[in-house]
Structure 1
Amino acid sequence: MRHPGIRTPRTPRPSRAAATAAAATAAAAVLALVPATTAQAAPAPQRAEAPAASTASAAWAPGGNAAILGIDYGTWQRDVATVIDGARPYVEQRLANAPAGQKPAIVLDIDNSSLETDFHYFWTFPTPAIAKVRDLVQYAHAHGAAIFFVTARPGIIQSLTQYNLKAVGYPVTGLYVRDLPDLFDEVSAYKTAKRAEIEARGYTIIANIGNKQSDLVGGHAERTFKLPDYDGKLS
Structure 2
Amino acid sequence: MNRRPWLRRTSVSAVSAAALVALATPVEAATVTSGSATVTSGSATAAVAAATADVGYDTWQRDCKAVMDTALPYLKERIADARPGEKQAIVLDIDNTSLETDFGFSYPQPANRPVLETARYAQEHGVALFFVTARPGIIEAPTEWNLDHAGYESSGLYVRGFLDLFRDVAEYKTEQRAEIESKGYTIIANIGNSTTDLSGGHAEKTFKLPDYDGQLS
The one-letter code of the counterpart of 1:87 is A
The one-letter code of the counterpart of 1:76 is W
Instruction: Tell me the TM-score normalized by structure 1.
Output: 0.72
Aligned-pair distance for 1:62?
3.5
SS at match of 1:118: coil
Higher helix share: 1
Which of the numbers 60, 65, 71 marks the counterpart of 2:55? 71
1:193 maps to 175
Aligned-pair distance for 1:181?
1.7
Map residues 161-200 of structure 1 onto 2, 5 A cutoff.
Answer: 161-200=143-182
Aligned-pair distance for 1:68?
3.4
Instruction: Tell me the TM-score normalized by structure 2.
Output: 0.78
Deviations 1:52-89 (A, max 9, x none): xxxxx89xx33156553221111111110110000000
Aligned-pair distance for 1:220?
0.2
Q: Percent identity?
A: 57
Map residues 88-127 of structure 1 onto 2, 5 A cutoff.
Answer: 88-121=72-105, 124-127=106-109
Partners of 2:4 and 2:113 in 1: CA distance: 15
Larger radius of gyration: 1
Unpaired segments of 5 or more residues in structure 2?
Answer: 7-44
The one-letter code of the counterpart of 1:75 is T
Partners of 1:128 and 1:119 in 2: CA distance: 9
Deviations 1:185-224 (A, max 9, x none): 1000000000000000000000000000000000000000
Partners of 1:198 and 1:141 in 2: CA distance: 17
Taking only aligned residues, the RMSD between alpha carbons, in angstroms, comes to 1.4
Partners of 1:183 and 1:87 in 2: CA distance: 31
Map residues 1-235 of structure 1 onto 2, 5 A cutoff.
Answer: 61-64=3-6, 68-69=50-51, 70-121=54-105, 124-235=106-217
- Structure having greater relative contact order (Cα 8 Å, sep ≥ 6): 2
